[in-house]
Amino acid sequence: MKLNTFKMYLIAISALLCVFFQAGEACAAAAGTIRAALVSGAETLDFQVSGNYEIVDLATDKVLAELKKGETCQVEIKGSRIAVKGRQASFSSFKGPVEVRESDSSAAVISASGVVKDLGLEKLMVINGNGKTVSLQTTVNPAIRAAGRMIEFKGSSGLNLITLTSSSGSKRYRGGLEFCLEAGKLTAVNIVNIEDYLRGVVPSEMPSDWPAEALKAQAVAARNYALQSVETTRGDTFNVYNTMTSQVYGGYDAETAAANKAVEGTRGIVMLSGGKTVSAFFHSSSGGFTENSEDVWSGRLSYIRTKEDPYDKNSKHYNWEVTYSADQVRDKLAASGYKFSKVTDVVELERTSSGARVMEIAVKGTGADGKSLRVEIKNADKVRSALGLKSALFKFTNKYDSRGNLTVIGFKGSGWGHGLGMSQYGARGMAQKGYDYQEILKYYYSGIKFADDYGR
């Protein structure tokens, strides 16, 4: 190949890269990304890449190193700064965050003498032999042929994954990782496309062997939750936790074929109320009734309304019973910040609009200072948490000794969780009766409408 001919090849390929890189980025950005906190309070963390990644100093956006497939690095604190140590080199003195970012797959532009240059093509589109535009990532072993020699695109097949190892074990994740300092300790944040994030949420929140329509309902509810979280935490280090504090996210290792199908089958679909994204609260089991938002937390939401839930019935969370001694009640209350040295009585003051849940109680006893203390605990979820119960849907019986001192409280209840929005067991029950995912969601979220493309 002559030099000017090679230049023509290079210019043509560069132009193709420019056009399709922009198109690829637009597709990837449609859903946006979410930042999920995976680990916090760590002294050291290890990661290993499987695919194409680079280490970036976010303070300068400078690429510090290109990582090879299978490479392992350690992130640690040195003084009050971040240090990264790998096989190639060590990097230190980073006051700000360091990101392990997916880099473009490497594709070879060749001349007659062989490989000339590697170019990044991970998110590009190409035109196949049939004249159709397809994703390079989904093309099996694509190659460039020139001067009788074929060179394959390196890294064009397979999946980019990064494994994070902490004291609690190792898990694989799509997307990238950001390491930052919070209160002098390391926090690891997974930066991932929202749809890929949902792949790790749906099977973590709902068993994958449940009906497909229930899984779809969970996917839409989780998508709404994710989008709302991104909106309300803009500018923060992360948008969600990977635990029940937000919604459980297990990363790539949690994924299942059934859950992935549910996510893909509802891609971009969200629930709206009044033209705005719904706050899609969900819980495990309603116990037979869902509640008004203001009775459980605070603030009225028109789409979170109380209703009877006949679809939720299950043997796992119905008809539970628990008995606490007065000392156990005291300890449960202390864990929620209510400090009694002795509890002498617990009295029900008010129930929710459904009549099913306890919305307000009064606790009487002696405070830590030895003086009489009376505390009112209001809103059903605070009552549930303060008493350490599965739900606020309960009735209770107090027992006293001959002196009138509280000795034991017996609780009988149903359900698990706050009781707002969709019941997961209820979604299963509705799907088993033949309802589709939109009918399920319309039942649990009053007056909502569905929109494609994330409601844009």
Nearest to 354, CA basis, from 417, 299, 306: 306
pLDDT digits (tens, 9 = 90+) for 134-149: 655 445 445 555 555 5
Q: Enter the pTM of the model.
A: 0.81
Rounded distance between C-alpha atoms, residue 162 and residue 183, angstroms: 25
Other C-beta atoms within 10 Å of 252: how many?
Answer: 19
Residue 67 pLDDT greater than 50, yes or no:
yes
pLDDT at 31 over 60: no
What pLDDT shows up at residue 342? 94
- Where do the structural domains in the chain lie, given as residue ranges? 33-105+160-192, 114-154, 194-280+421-456, 320-413
Look over the chain and give the mean of its residue pLDDT values, rounded to a whole number.
85
User: What percentage of residues in the chain have a pLDDT greater than 70?
Assistant: 80
122, 102 contact by CB (below 8 A): yes
Taking only the tens place, the pLDDT of each residue in 264-293 is 999 999 999 999 999 999 999 999 999 999
What is the C-alpha to C-alpha distance for residues 367 and 12, in angstroms, rounded to an integer? 79
Please state the length of the chain. 456
Please give the average per-residue pLDDT across 306-329, as a whole number: 96
Grade residue 456 by pLDDT with cuts at 50, 70 and 90.
confident
Beta bridge partners of 192: 34
Q: At what angle do helices 212-232 and 194-205 cross, to 10 degrees?
A: 130
**Total Cβ atoms within 10 A of residue 12:** 10
Task: Judge whether residue 158 has pLDDT over 70.
Answer: no
